[in-house]
Amino acid sequence: MPLDFEALSDWDFEEIRQTLTQRDTILYALGLGFGEDPTDKKELAFVYEDGLKAVPSMAVTMGYPGFWLRNPRTGVNWQKVLHGEQWLDIYKPLPVNANIIGRSKIDFISDKGEGKGAVIYQSRDIIDADTGDKLARVAMSAFCRGDGGFGGENRPGPKPARLPDRDPDHICDIETLPRQALIYRLSGDMNPLHADPDVARSVGFDRPILHGLATYGLAARAILKSVLDYDSARLVGLDVRFSAPVYPGETVRFEIWEEGGEARFRASIPARDVLVLNNGAARFA
Active site residues: 189, 194, 209, 212
Count of other CB atoms within 10 angstroms of residue 184: 28
Could you tell me which of 161, 164, 199, 172 has the C-alpha nearest to residue 79? 199
List phi, psi (to 5°) of 227.
Answer: -115, -40
Compute the distance between CA of residue 179 and CA of residue 186 in angstroms, rounded to an integer: 12
For β-strands 81-90 and 16-20, DSSP reports them as unpaired
Q: Please tell me whether residue 222 adopts helix, strand or coil conformation.
A: helix
- For the chain, the maximum distance between any two Cα atoms, rounded to a whole number of angstroms, is 57
Contacts of 165 (CB under 8 A, 6+ apart): none
Specify burial of residue 145 (Cβ count, 10 A radius: 0-12, 13-18, 19+): middle
Backbone angle region of 63, left / alpha / beta, with phi > 0 → left and psi within -120 to 50 → alpha:
left
- As a whole number of angstroms, the distance between CA 257 and CA 244 comes to 21
* 49 vs 218: CA distance, rounded Å: 21
Q: Cβ(78)–Cβ(260) under 8 Å? A: no
Cα–Cα distance measured from residue 140 to residue 121, given in angstroms and rounded to the nearest whole number:
6
